[in-house]
């Protein structure tokens, strides 16, 4: 797989306090996905036939199962009003990861770069926006 000039546009993501949702456990889980994003980026030259791509998809599947369940439970406990929309976004993530897994099985060479693009976009749009929306509600409920 050749990345051409696009590989120069990819910047390693570093955790910073602005990423925090104010709940240590969730921040730890978010750091895990950040690590996977950086791992994918560092190994992007690995082709779809490489076990690496399947391992990353396995990590992202496990992340979805464990983290989403944890996050959704905390949102239920604090009565977060946007929970249904948030759960639907989580469903869309799961569907996309399943699709990428299926395409890996069929050796679709576009998967590694699309995977990086998707999880980076997920980081920027979901974690840094959608998850931040519940942050103050969760922090407030944990002080009770």
Give the pLDDT confidence of 17-63 residue by residue, as tens digits.
Answer: 889 998 999 999 999 989 999 988 888 887 777 788 889 999 999 99
- In this prediction, residues 93-115 reach a mean pLDDT of 91
Residue listed under structure tokens 């869309």: 92
Structure tokens at 101: 């897994």
For 68-72, the CB contacts below 8 A with 24+ separation are: 68/93, 68/94, 70/25, 70/26, 70/29, 71/26, 71/29, 71/131
d(CA 3, CA 14): 22
Q: What are the start-end ranges of the H helices in 79-142?
A: 83-105, 111-122, 131-142
Q: CATH for 23-29+52-144?
A: 1.20.120.50
Q: pLDDT band for 71, please (50, 70, 90 cuts).
A: very high
Q: What is the pLDDT of residue 1?
A: 40
Residue 44's SS3 state is: coil
Q: What percent of the chain has pLDDT over 70?
A: 90
Q: What percent of the chain has pLDDT over 90?
A: 44
Structure tokens at 49: 């036939």
CB 26 within 8 A of CB 69: no
> What residue ranges do the domains of the chain occupy?
23-29+52-144
Smallest Cα–Cα separation from 138: which of 30, 16, 32, 15? 30
């Amino acid at each position: 797989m050749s990345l051409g000039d696009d590989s120069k546009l990819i910047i390693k993501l570093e955790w910073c306090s602005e990423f925090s949702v104010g709940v240590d456990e969730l921040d730890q889980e978010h750091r895990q996905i950040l690590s996977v994003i950086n791992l994918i980026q560092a190994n992007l030259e690995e082709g779809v036939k490489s076990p690496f791509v399947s391992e990353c998809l396995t990590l992202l599947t496990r992340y979805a199962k464990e983290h989403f369940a944890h996050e959704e439970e905390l949102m239920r406990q604090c009565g977060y009003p946007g929970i249904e929309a948030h759960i639907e976004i989580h469903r869309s993530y799961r569907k996309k990861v399943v699709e990428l897994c299926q395409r890996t099985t069929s050796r679709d060479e576009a998967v590694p770069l699309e995977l990086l693009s998707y999880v980076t976009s997920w980081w920027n749009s979901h974690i840094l926006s959608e998850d931040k929306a519940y942050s103050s509600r969760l922090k407030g409920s944990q002080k009770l």
